[in-house]
Amino acid sequence: MKILVVGSGGREHALCWKVAQSPLTTQLYAAPGNPGIAELAECIPWDGDVERLAEWAAAEEIELTLVGPEAPLVEGIADAFQARGLRIFGPTQKAAMIEGSKAYAKGLMERLGIPTARYRSFSDTLQALSYLEQVGAPIVVKDSSLAAGKGVTVASELSQARQAVLNILSGAERGEVVIEEYLEGPEVTVLALTDGFSVKPLLPLQDHKRLLDGDLGPMTGGMGAICPYPLAPGVLREVEERILRPLVDGLRAEGVVYKGVVYAGLMLTDDGPKVLEFNARFGDPECQAILPLLQTDLVELALAVVEGRLHELEPTWRPMASACVVMAAPGYPEAPHRGLPVRLPPHPPQGVLYFQAGTRRTPHGLVTQGGRVLNVVGLGKDLREALGRAYMGVEAVQFEHAVYRRDIGRRALV
């Protein structure tokens, strides 16, 4: 099969790495890809125009497309491909609204009885500020629209919350802000595949959103992940029955058949799991941590989703653990430095995978091109060994002033 992967980050490098292993793959393309992906696939220049990419895919007779990032999904890439009779793994524009609008997602959860934090949404600055005075801190303020994982402020002081509201609602475009109650507990991610009817939860993970050790510093797109996260018995089934299935069934009842990956970002509270956010695709860096453990052919799973026969397959897993450490450019997330040299070891240490993200190839080698530059994944018989290998992999990279956390997965080891 001729297969296309859409995107240019570490998640898409991991997707290409996994798709390339499938005996069903005869030709692999990526749009626009990155230097790491270019070693596995033919990279196609792409400016983000979903209709133009759909035209290209139709002309090239692409037989399956997998979409990594959220922006093209929210812009309707699945609709554009389906209109041309092309198979695409990823939800339609209406289905992707669970990520495209946090206010929509909260309203949906309210209608469907899915456990989540109490909230209010506002487009008016004065009303939002007045509500903050009523509820006080700690409080969570979210940009309702796409913000690449960085539109969330967990405010311990009212002054922080006020500033977050002003930042979101004072732009040229009229924004929307969601103000939520502050929840406490461990954070965990549960991804699931669905064809709109069957729901297959994958291994639980834990992402690390803050930039600095000890969960300090600004929110980022994610600085690392571990898989599997040790959930208490019965919790995964509870997530499936109280959150994932009601979401998929509820959307279908409203005329939206969701096909692709559902990402549930959860807080494990004393009252049980509650949804912090839904995303409409694989997480980044969760994808890089989970795919190396997946034994089942990803292309077969994607086809089963697209063709509405996911009930025929059960994902199987390698009996191992993985840990992903993100190496970011200095200045990330506000103003990452570009053009800094990055040198990977000619032979990765045992049990280590490198997935490139914000890199660019020059005549002199790789340089930084974005904020999150490299994903270093360690694999081991257990989490301790996986983390040891991941950090060994980090040490083997020549990347001066790289920003990375040294405490990924530490809480799960206790």
**Tens-of-pLDDT digits for all 414 residues of the chain?**
999 999 999 999 999 999 999 999 999 999 999 999 999 999 999 999 999 999 999 999 999 999 999 999 999 999 999 999 999 999 999 999 999 999 999 999 999 999 999 999 998 899 999 999 999 989 999 888 876 555 788 888 999 999 999 988 886 666 889 999 999 999 999 999 999 999 999 999 999 999 999 999 998 999 999 999 999 889 999 999 999 999 999 999 999 999 999 999 999 999 999 999 999 999 999 999 999 999 999 999 999 999 999 999 999 999 999 999 999 999 999 999 999 999 999 999 999 999 999 999 999 999 999 999 999 999 999 999 999 999 999 999 999 999 999 999 999 987
HSE-up of residue 268 (Cα within 13 Å, Cβ side): 18
Alpha carbon distance 96, 146 (integer Å): 11
Alpha carbon distance 85, 309 (integer Å): 18
Q: Supply the pLDDT for residue 95.
A: 97
Its pTM stands at 0.94
Q: Supply the pLDDT for residue 148.
A: 57
Closest CA to 325 of 223, 206, 413: 223
Q: 262: which residues sit within 8 A by CB, 6+ positions away?
A: 98, 191, 192, 194, 199, 244, 247, 248, 278, 279, 280
Closest CA to 209 of 281, 292, 146, 151: 151
Can you tell me which residue has the tokens 């279908």? 252
DSSP-derived 3-state class of residue 399: coil
Q: Supply the pLDDT for residue 371.
A: 95
pLDDT digits (tens, 9 = 90+) for 116-139: 999 999 988 999 999 999 999 899
DSSP-assigned letters across all residues of 72-89: HHHTTHHHHHHTTT--EE
Alpha carbon distance 403, 410 (integer Å): 18
Can you tell me which residue has the tokens 């069903």? 24
- Name residue 229's amino acid: Y
Contact call for residues 141 and 100 (beta carbons, < 8 A): no
Q: Strand 365-368: give its sheet, edge to edge.
A: 341-342, 365-368, 359-362
Interaxial angle between packed helices 10-20 and 298-306, expressed in degrees from 0 to 180 and rounded to the nearest 10: 100
Q: Supply the pLDDT for residue 150.
A: 55
DSSP-assigned letters across all residues of 317-338: B-S-EEEEEEEE-TTTTTS---
Closest CA to 389 of 290, 343, 327, 322: 322
End-to-end CA distance of the chain: 45
Q: Supply the pLDDT for residue 172.
A: 61
